[in-house]
Every structure is written in C-alpha cells, then in structure tokens.
Structure 1
C-alpha cells in the first residue's frame, strides 16, 4: 500500500456501480487524468472495466475475479485498473464498445478493454470467466498473456493500437450527402421502402425482430407504425408487425405483471424469460410507443400497461431530488430474477386453492416451473387476449395479494442516480401520456423532474449528466441536452407554458455553441472542451436509447414550427444531410433520424386558441390527443397571445368568442372549427380541406 497506485480509490465516488467495487482488493481508479498519468508514470497498460449497477454478468465477473485476492494481485501488479460506470460516462463507454466491434467481437457489459497508458485500446472482450469455462479462457490467464504481449511484443501492440485508433477516427463522423436546392436528403418514398424491408424481419407469431434474444426496438416499430399510418392504413403487414409485437411484450414475462414496468429484453424468442433488470429509458420508450399506438387502436391492454408502468415510475423510480432514478438490478440475494419468480406452492399458499387454480391457469404457473429450477415467470403470452371485465378485476385483486407478499422479499438493488438524458425520455413520455389519458399526477411528476434537471446546469447553461447524493457531476453530453430539449417541448405542447419553449431554445443554443460540427451539420456527442476522450464522435446511430442527432432533428423541426425561425429548419436539414449517406450502408440504427425527418417533411401544425381552463378548449385538445398523429406539433394559444408572423395561422383567433382550432399542412390551414367533432373529422381526413392561400415562411 506504499505506492501511489496501491489502493482502491472508488470509495469517494457517488455511482452505485463504482461503490459496488469499492471493497474489491483490486486497486481501482475512476476514469480521469490522475489514472492516465499514473499509467504513463509506470508505463503500465490500462485494464479498463466498464459496467453498470443492474448488470447481471458484471456481478458474475466481480464475484469470480474482482473479489479474488489472487486475480486482484495479478491485476494490481500488471495493470493500472480503471472502473467506469457506463451510465455515468456514456462518452467513454461508446468509444470502447466501438473499438470492441472493430476487433470483430460482439459488444456488451461488462466490457473489458486493454489500453496503452494514453487510453488507446489494443485488445479486449466482454465477460471473462474465472476459472476457464463456456469455451473461454480464464481471466487470470488473459491478464498474464496481455501483460506479456505488452512487454515483449511492442510491434504487434502498436499495430493493433494504430489500426484501432485510425478506424475509430474514420468512423467518428457520419457519411454526408450533397443536397440539391429544393430537395431533401431523405425523400419520403424511402421511409415506406425501409418499413417494408423491416417488416420482413418481424417474427409473425411472437413479434419482435428475429429470434432470441429480443429487444423491444421501439424506434423500429415506430417506423413501421408511421408507415402504416402514412400509407392510408392499407398494409396489414405493418399493422400486424406492431400490434403483435406490443401484445406479446405486454403479456410476456418481460413485463412485471405484479409491479408494473418492463425489463430490458427477453433472452428467448417468446418474450418469456427477461433479463430482469429494469431501465428507466426502456420504460420511457415503451410508454411513448404504446401511447402512440393506443391513440389509434384504443387497445385496453395498451392503456392498462401504460397506466401500470407510469404508476410504477411514480411509486418506485423517484429519486431523492424529485427526478427519476436509473435502474433496478437484475439480481437479488446473488440470484438473477429471484425477486420476481414464483414456485407453484408459494402461489397456492398465498391465494388458496380456488383462486390459485384460476391464477395459475392464466399466468402459466406450472408445478415444475416454466423456467429453470422449478421457478415460474408470470406471463400471459399463451393466451394474450384479456378476459371478461369480472375476471380481470378478480386477477387484479389476486395480483395485489401476491405483490404484498413479494414486497416482503429482499429487493433488487436500486440505482438511484439521476441521469439527465434518461430523465428527458421519461419526462416526455409522462407529459404526453398525461395529456392523452388526462392524468394530472403524471404531468406533475414530469414537471418536477424537469425542474430538477434544469437546476443542474453550470454557469454557462450546460447540463450536468449525473446527480446523486447532492452532487452533480460529469459534463453533459449531446443526448442530455437533446433529450431534455425534447422533454421541454413535450411539456410546452401539452401545457402551453412559455418557459419550456424558452428552455428548449436555450438547450439548442448550448448544442450549437459547444457541440456543433461546423459546416458538417451534425453534433458531436461530447463538447469541444472534452479533454479525456481519445476521439470525439458524431453519428446518428440509435443504441438502447435514441440517437441524439436524430432527436435533434425533431427538436429543431418543432422549434421551427413554434417560433417561426427559419434557421431551425435549415439546421435540421443540415443534420439530416450529415448522416443520410449511411442509409445505404445500414439503415437499421437510423430510425430516430428517419422518424424525425418525416416529422419535418409531413408536419401537421395544430393551433388551439382559447382560455386554458375553458372546457371547450379542453375538448378540442382532447380531440387532438385522441388521434395517432406522430407528426403533429400543437400550439396552445391564449386569446391574447399571437403566433409568429410566418406561421400559416398567424393573425387568426377565436371565432364567435369560442375556443377555436386550426389544422395546417404545407403552409395552408383548414377552416376554423369550434367543435371537437369537427376537429376530429379534419384529423381523420388526413388533410386540411378548404383553407387559405399558402403563405411564405
């Protein structure tokens, strides 16, 4: 312990994941200049380990290797060991995940990357067992081999380092296209072609993309839904792809039928076996998509799952500062899923013979279990249709009794750190769902969370990424500012308070000032003053969360509509063009970019003029929220306020002293309507009849 490197430095961190490793015999460093300086001083390679608190295989590797005195001794002797919470430092994680992909390996967590003292990667993997098994070498053997190669095979290490760094730099920017005046980089016909191609990848029986494992892929299914709506509802394959998937997700084991909320993904093709961790961002995206599809289908199943998930968020995911916490762990008492699964005898003991028999039949509870070791995962995917109203009420009572018992178990670990980008996703989802289903408590939670994140800004107006235990830390990323700008616009469109529009404009200004890629058009993921990343990247690829650049296309499109400032539309077109060339290479990760490009091109601008508390104003607003209109932009306008001069409805107001609605497309507006039924008819027609002459903008 006498050397500067000779201790574990994670005890002073706030991340629950890093604190999980604070007692390891490994001499962990947090990522930062001090760790890199020590690696250079000792000329030791860096062992970079990246994970997160809810990660099952991270726990497994920790128990096998990082808690082992023997393995730790080798790590401490041979490497400078750096531990990173990928949720706190997505900028770091993304770079090294991409490096792993360049090595021809599938990414994931835990990520184990070996780097030069400058932090430049030369080899890596994900989980390594200790001892050797699963066809993988033992981690201790890996450590000795890598350290030996670093010492004795400098040329090979340098070749790997240079090749990876060159490739990372080459891929740090998107592939742009030249756009002729009056045209767009992503033509509307492309969206339908992509949707048709994607629909062929959907499992027609169980839904989802491909086979196991299955992720909800909400941005993909939004693309399919949008194309079904835009195609005049003629292509049944697109509708079925979305509704079959959502039905199976909502009734499968990936959903927590007792407590609400969705797990991150299913490990099987039938959505039975979840990876039990619950992530804030997954639930936000599923609430958004379910709400959008419910607006057309009016599915009682979707409405129920939305309500249960939003209520779960308000009940279990509110952190100490009023914003939303990050995750629930997959494990409890050292076992994956132990908190959630049931043995048949347990259910019999809680519910009694008659009720247990009914419940077990509905939820596929078997005497020998439907999963491993006699355990049952509750699900309804064998018969996903809802039962009669009386039977569903009976099931709700039985679920409540089981939940009361489950609540007495040892709970999974709760990662209560607050992340600005994930909060932005949930704030937008709650604001939208609150407006659609008239649930004021959801909106109150969304506004409280927004105000909390908004207070986490530096003197220059930039957001911090993370908060826990009263400490805000880590510079905000593109995703933080983009998702919070989107959240601000969701609150503005559903409530009309001007401060949210101002906040969205302010966050966009921050991005233009500190994250912009000059004439190239897109935004970098990290700010210009980021000094501890080896590459600044700018791309439009969705990951587990929507792309920040794709999200900003939607933010800029809405700001153009709501402010009338042409510069926002011009900026949105430049962002699209900056990445449109990647469509031919691989369109699958570009769904958010495409979806928001369609918003820019097919925007439906809806203006409702009237006193905010007037019942007739509310009726008009409810008519809008009763339709699935992914390309709508709503402006709630008090009678004494004015629209920007370039808006197609500028100068228009209430008719006959009654709240009035205008629907505008392609710079022309419908005749004014004062009845909710008339507004619904215009929205259902899909175009603005009659209307005024087109106005310049």
Structure 2
C-alpha cells in the first residue's frame, strides 16, 4: 500500500475551520464525543455538503450512550490524536446517536449487514457525499486482530480506494442502494383497499410456533444472548385471557412438531409460557434485585449475566407487561403478588432514576413527586478511576458481602444470590442472581439486608445517564405508569403519567395550524430539538395517551391522542402506503435507493407499523371511526405470513390482532362522579379482556368522547356501564357483578 500522505498530496484538504461540533447537541452520546480530537459533525446536510466540497467520503459512526463497545472504540481510536488527524484529513466524520436517529441507524445497519455480514454498535460506515454506503463494519480495534483489521488499516484502504478506484466505489454504492430499495417492504402495506379478514386460527398457530422456540428450562425464547420478549409477552397474556381458545381440529392435526408441541388449548399454553418468562427474568440478574429495573439483555441463557445498560423503552414495556400479568391473575408458579412487587419496584426505578425534574437539571433522581419526563437510559459502564468498567456499580464479591453484613448473613446472601469466587462477570465480581423464588427464611433474610446493600451500593460511582427525552419512549412509559397506577392502586403513578403527558404536549407537540400537528422526537433541557418524530413516536404517544384517558377519564388526553394519530396518518400513511419516516434526511432516502423505508418487525420496541395499528384500533373503538378501523385492519393484513414463520418479531401485531378479534370490547362509564362510578370504572381497569377500551364521562369536557354520546346515568341518576362491540351496546348495568359477568361472557 502506498504511503497515503505522499499519494494524496494536496488532496483532500481539511475542512476549513474544522472543529468538533458536538458540544451543543441534545444527545448525551454525541456530547460524550465533544472532547475528541476528531472533527465530528452531527448528521445533516451541512456535513454532507462539506464532504462534497472537499471531495472526500463521509465516515459515519453510529452508537449510543449506554453502549460498552462504543466507549471502547472511542478510547482506543477517537481519542487518539494520530487517528483523529488522519480522519480529519481524509474524511468528514459524522457521529450519530442511534436512539436519536433510528431512521439513520436502520438504513445503515441494513447496509452494514449486507456488506459485512454482521451488525452491531459501534457501527462504522463509509458513505458517498450523497449518503449512499460503499463499505462498512462494526468495531475495529486499534491494532490488527485475527480476522479483523485495525481501524487505521481500514481508513487507509478506504482512502486509497476513493482516490484510486472511484468508479468501482461509486458502482458498489449504486448496487447496494438498488438492492436495499428492492428489499423495502413499504409497498407491501396498502391502506387504500378492503382489508383481508383476520383468521383467529393464526393466533393459536403463533402460540404453537412460539412454543417450539421456548427455553422451558430458563424461560424466554432462544439461546444466548437473550432479550426480554416484551411484545410477545403482551400477546401471550392477551391470548391467555380468552378462556378455552382452541385451534380448529384440522389445524391441530397438521402439527408435526413432536410430543412436546402445544395441544389445542393454546390459551393455557400462552399463560404458561408468559409465566415462565416473567418469573425467570424477575428472579434473575437481569432484574436489579436492589433498586428495581431491568437490564437490556443477558449474555447467558439463564439470565445470570446481564449487559448492564438500562433502557427506558425496555422498562416501560416490561412494567406494563408485569402489570397485565397481575391483572390476568398470575399462576401458582408465578403468583400475581410477586409480579406486582416487581412492577412496583420497576415503576419506582423509572421515576427515581430516569425521572427529570421540572427544571430539567442534569442531576439524576427526579423522584416520583417531581419527574415531568423520563431520560433515555443508564450506561452499561461506570467510570472508576478514570476507566470505563462494565457493570462496576452492580458487582459484588463474597468478601464484600461478609464485610458489610457480617460473616453469617454475608455468607447466606452470597449463597442465595450466587455470588461466588471466581466471579461471573469479572475475576472477582458477580451480579445478584437468585435464579429462583425468594421465599420463607430466605425472604426474611433478604428483606432485612436489602436496604443495607442498596445504601452501600448508592455510595459507589454510578453509571452515567442519557438525559435526552425521546417522545415515543415517554409515550410507552405513560401507558405503563397509567396502567400500573390503576391496577396496583397507586394514584401517584397515574399523576406521574399525567405530568409526562403534559410535558410532551408542551415541549414536543406543535398543534395543528395550516396543516396537521407535528411531534418532535427529542428534547433536552426542556427544549425540543432535531428531527420530527418518526412513525413509532406518533404511535407510541397515541397509545400512551389513549391508555391515560382510559384510566383518568380526562378528555384532554383523548383529544391529544386523536390529534397525534391524525397527524401520523397524514405524515406516514399517505398515498395508500406506509413508511417509518417522513423524508427527514435526503441522505437516508438516497442510501435506500430512493425508496421509503418501513420495518415490519418488532425490535427492542414494537415496530411503528404494529404500534400504529394498535392505536388506530383503540381510536376506532372510542370514536366509532370506520376509517381508522379499516386502516388498522390493513396493517394487520401483514400478520398471516409472520404469525407462524416469525412470531417472535411480530408480537405487537399479534397482540393487536387479539384485541381486534375480541371486538375490541368498548366500555362507556356514565353518570355522576361518585364512589359507585369509581367502583364500576375500577372493575373495568382490572379486567384482562384483550383490548378492552374504556371511556369515562368527563363533565368538564366541552364535547364528550363519541362512545359516550347519547349515554348517561340510569333513570334514578345513578352511574352505569354500557358494554359494546362496534358501538352496539348491551343493556347498561349499574352493578360491579353485572359488569364482571358480562365481560366474562364477552370474552368467550
């Protein structure tokens, strides 16, 4: 290889006045790199225009604040002056937070996987100045390793190819973009025709398919690494709520999975699978046994070694799933009371550790009484003596436990929590991992020592927090906190959900003017910045606001949810198709061959398409809108080919289909605001009926929600409930038992 400084003499030239431009960005991940000698630029037209002017490629680095290997590559390469000098001379360096720009992450992850056969973060992608990718990989070390070149070698090879073989580079980029355009499923969703009717049998078939990939020994699905299957669990819980749900005998006869396959009673099988996963996760190191909250995933099959980052989107979804398990009634193997304790601690962790106070100050610990929004994540790493150490805040040794608790209790806790020598994460350290139910004398011991351990751990260095507020993830949290407050009888959680909703309305939402309203994806320090919301942001916010309305009866949240959903339909469901982003970046569009992108599969959170279908279905039940019901049904028409082949990535579509097939059941609670009405409302909120939609009379509203129109108190002026399907209602009932009986009948 030629000496690059000689071969490229005089060209390219450094960016005039080049400097690192990340210090004022809302993303904590970008600000983490503000001190690098690399002249990082945020993703945007200016950076790509600079690359075109200088005639150099773009080096795109994608990661996120809680990513351990992102920190490693930053320390090894991006903090190195020689590496930075080479990057600054031969490239325009662009840094992206995948949480802030999932649209950018999705398209370049697809490109990276197509080019290198692997994906992950940090992601390293080389682009033409128009945004099309031509080379990519993930982590590159500072020195060559077997099968992996050094980062400097990669930079030199790319620079040489750009200078000496430009035609081949551009041809590769064009070929990749065409291939990505051909693979886009956006055209598969047609919203302008009659929908295909749903076949209930596919839901039972999905349960059977899930059973074939279940890890019955350790709970969950598949092997290591193992992720919490939140959307799938929501589907299983909804399916379990339909008693006696059975596959047609012909479908059962087609099963060839062997003697361990699920039988015809798929509702019971769904309950068992959900219970095993929920129990395994909450009794493991994935769940923080001291403070609450769940880590991103486990690197082991038995959930014993977590990857320690804690994400808002995971914990919001898991909080709601555990609450819905409580509402379902649990099982003997995983009682509702145990799940309720896990849910309560997760809600407290969300508000205490991710809660941002009214002044949006960066210090953690907003607390349940102050939090107005929720930060994005806690880091996987803790900085100890200037070095990043993964999980350092959470690890214990037997000696530490004995020193803190005394020889007897310390040894007993070490045995209970699988803290041994050598450690499971480092040579000495292990996370707390009971791996089973803590009961009897163990429970007494744990209740006594847990506050002591929590206090001791709070004195250690703590992981960093990413304080950016992501609209969609806060929408997920609104739904979870509202449901948790209702089911656990904790009104302070509902109040927290209302504060977060008010923050999104005030900071992230631009009300309709000449056109539809607009949602901004990210805010920091109380100010919304950056791109408009993606489909998932609109859908998650609408879902959360509808759930909050159902719990509070405050029509304000229904109206806001409807406005957000209408804006989503205009922005993402135009021209008879569906897309994840509304042309936020020309470079992203170019990278996928000029086509709109749509990801149909759930990832860490439900897909935007699936979440939109759920919100549309709820809105149609509350408003009677046939247009919204038809749109939801058109999105659900994607389900049949996924239900059996890929149910693990179609959980929210399956959950929404279960609600659609149940009606969904619509409940209108009318009459004066009395303890009797509150009792009727509560029995509805405690019902596990799939997709049950609740409207509550709000005497302060200018216009009632459509489901309530023309319905009022009984002839004696007492509150009552109308239970309906398709806006056609049974005779109203004013008794709690009457509501229970009719719900049970409707579930069959």
Is TM more than 0.5 here?
A: yes
Question: Which of 493, 503, 506 is the equivalent residue of 1:455?
Answer: 506
- What corresponds to 2:671 in structure 1? 610
Pairwise CA distance, 1:396: 2.5
Question: Which of 238, 242, 245 is the equivalent residue of 2:270?
Answer: 238
Matching of residue 387 in structure 1 with residue 439 in structure 2: yes
Question: Which of 524, 531, 535 is the equivalent residue of 1:468?
Answer: 524
- What corresponds to 1:525 in structure 2? 580
Question: Which of 490, 507, 515 is the equivalent residue of 1:439?
Answer: 490
Pairwise CA distance, 1:660: 1.8
- What corresponds to 2:740 in structure 1? 680
Matches within 5 A, 1:440-589: 440-456=491-507, 457-458=509-510, 460=512, 461-474=517-530, 475-520=532-577, 522=578, 524-528=579-583, 530-534=585-589, 535=592, 536-577=596-637, 586-589=646-649
Matching of residue 327 in structure 1 with residue 377 in structure 2: yes
Pairwise CA distance, 1:134: 5.9
Matching of residue 248 in structure 1 with residue 305 in structure 2: no
**In structure 2, what is the Cα distance between the partners aligned to 1:102 and 1:584?**
26
Matches within 5 A, 1:225-304: 225-230=237-242, 232=244, 234-235=265-266, 236-298=268-330, 299-304=336-341
Pairwise CA distance, 1:60: 0.7
Deviates most, 324-333 or 350-359: 350-359
Deviation per CA, 1:564-591, whole angstroms, max 9, x where unpaired?
2222212222333467666687554232
Q: Is the 8 A contact 2:73 2:139 kept in 1?
A: yes
Deviation per CA, 1:25-69, whole angstroms, max 9, x where unpaired?
111111111110110011111110011111001001111111112
**In structure 1, what is the Cα distance between the partners aligned to 2:210 and 2:116?**
25
Judging changes above 3 Å, is the alpha-carbon distance between structure 1 residues 122 and 328 closer, same or farther for their aligned structure 2 residues?
Answer: same
**In structure 2, what is the Cα distance between the partners aligned to 1:258 and 1:400?**
8
- What corresponds to 2:354 in structure 1? 317
**In structure 1, what is the Cα distance between the partners aligned to 2:133 and 2:478?**
37
Pairwise CA distance, 1:123: 1.5
Deviates most, 256-265 or 464-473: 464-473
- What corresponds to 2:413 in structure 1? 359
- What corresponds to 1:184 in structure 2? 196
Partner SS for 2:518: coil
Deviates most, 439-448 or 461-470: 461-470
**In structure 2, what is the Cα distance between the partners aligned to 1:124 and 1:5?**
28
Matching of residue 99 in structure 1 with residue 111 in structure 2: yes
Pairwise CA distance, 1:175: 5.3
Matching of residue 114 in structure 1 with residue 170 in structure 2: no
Q: Is the 8 A contact 2:668 2:708 kept in 1?
A: no
Judging changes above 3 Å, is the alpha-carbon distance between structure 1 residues 407 and 178 closer, same or farther for their aligned structure 2 residues?
Answer: closer
* TM-score computed with the length of structure 2 as normaliser: 0.86
Pairwise CA distance, 1:676: 1.9
Matching of residue 410 in structure 1 with residue 461 in structure 2: yes
Judging changes above 3 Å, is the alpha-carbon distance between structure 1 residues 501 and 134 closer, same or farther for their aligned structure 2 residues?
Answer: farther
Partner SS for 1:230: coil
**In structure 2, what is the Cα distance between the partners aligned to 1:411 and 1:644?**
48
- Unpaired segments of 5 or more residues in structure 1? 689-697
**In structure 2, what is the Cα distance between the partners aligned to 1:39 and 1:367?**
53
Pairwise CA distance, 1:471: 3.0
Judging changes above 3 Å, is the alpha-carbon distance between structure 1 residues 647 and 608 closer, same or farther for their aligned structure 2 residues?
Answer: closer
* TM-score computed with the length of structure 1 as normaliser: 0.92
**In structure 2, what is the Cα distance between the partners aligned to 1:169 and 1:181?**
24
**In structure 1, what is the Cα distance between the partners aligned to 2:710 and 2:520?**
38
Q: Is the 8 A contact 1:332 1:411 kept in 2?
A: yes
Matching of residue 342 in structure 1 with residue 379 in structure 2: no
Judging changes above 3 Å, is the alpha-carbon distance between structure 1 residues 643 and 415 closer, same or farther for their aligned structure 2 residues?
Answer: closer
Partner SS for 2:632: helix
Deviation per CA, 1:222-242, whole angstroms, max 9, x where unpaired?
223333333626344332221
Pairwise CA distance, 1:394: 4.0
Q: Is the 8 A contact 2:29 2:64 kept in 1?
A: yes
Deviation per CA, 1:620-662, whole angstroms, max 9, x where unpaired?
2222233322321111125899998985995464364332223
Pairwise CA distance, 1:280: 0.3
Question: Which of 329, 334, 344 is the equivalent residue of 1:307?
Answer: 344
**In structure 1, what is the Cα distance between the partners aligned to 2:702 and 2:502?**
26
Pairwise CA distance, 1:264: 0.4
- What corresponds to 1:146 in structure 2? 158
Pairwise CA distance, 1:531: 4.0
Matching of residue 20 in structure 1 with residue 32 in structure 2: yes
Deviates most, 321-330 or 647-656: 647-656
**In structure 2, what is the Cα distance between the partners aligned to 1:249 and 1:588?**
17
Q: Is the 8 A contact 2:555 2:705 kept in 1?
A: no
Deviates most, 450-459 or 168-177: 168-177
Deviates most, 475-484 or 573-582: 573-582
- What corresponds to 2:258 in structure 1? none
Judging changes above 3 Å, is the alpha-carbon distance between structure 1 residues 661 and 45 closer, same or farther for their aligned structure 2 residues?
Answer: same
Matching of residue 48 in structure 1 with residue 37 in structure 2: no
Question: Which of 596, 608, 618 is the equivalent residue of 2:656?
Answer: 596
**In structure 2, what is the Cα distance between the partners aligned to 1:132 and 1:485?**
49
Deviation per CA, 1:271-314, whole angstroms, max 9, x where unpaired?
01111000000001101111111212342221111000101111
Judging changes above 3 Å, is the alpha-carbon distance between structure 1 residues 140 and 555 closer, same or farther for their aligned structure 2 residues?
Answer: same
Pairwise CA distance, 1:102: 2.6
Q: Is the 8 A contact 2:60 2:125 kept in 1?
A: yes
Deviation per CA, 1:324-370, whole angstroms, max 9, x where unpaired?
00000000121000000111111111112232233223212224334
Partner SS for 2:124: strand
Judging changes above 3 Å, is the alpha-carbon distance between structure 1 residues 309 and 640 closer, same or farther for their aligned structure 2 residues?
Answer: closer
**In structure 2, what is the Cα distance between the partners aligned to 1:435 and 1:550?**
25
Deviation per CA, 1:59-108, whole angstroms, max 9, x where unpaired?
01111111112222222222111001111111211111121233352322
Q: Is the 8 A contact 2:15 2:50 kept in 1?
A: no
Pairwise CA distance, 1:595: 2.0
**In structure 2, what is the Cα distance between the partners aligned to 1:528 and 1:122?**
22
Partner SS for 1:122: strand
Q: Is the 8 A contact 2:305 2:424 kept in 1?
A: no
Pairwise CA distance, 1:12: 2.6
Q: Is the 8 A contact 2:63 2:122 kept in 1?
A: yes
- What corresponds to 1:213 in structure 2? 225
Judging changes above 3 Å, is the alpha-carbon distance between structure 1 residues 437 and 134 closer, same or farther for their aligned structure 2 residues?
Answer: farther
RMSD over aligned Cα, in angstroms?
2.6
**In structure 1, what is the Cα distance between the partners aligned to 2:354 and 2:52?**
42
Judging changes above 3 Å, is the alpha-carbon distance between structure 1 residues 8 and 625 closer, same or farther for their aligned structure 2 residues?
Answer: same
Partner SS for 1:472: strand
Pairwise CA distance, 1:551: 1.0
Question: Which of 453, 475, 480 is the equivalent residue of 1:424?
Answer: 475
Q: Is the 8 A contact 2:243 2:747 kept in 1?
A: no
Deviates most, 450-459 or 398-407: 450-459
Judging changes above 3 Å, is the alpha-carbon distance between structure 1 residues 396 and 432 closer, same or farther for their aligned structure 2 residues?
Answer: same
Q: Is the 8 A contact 1:199 1:224 kept in 2?
A: no
Question: Which of 157, 164, 167 is the equivalent residue of 2:169?
Answer: 157
Partner SS for 1:246: helix
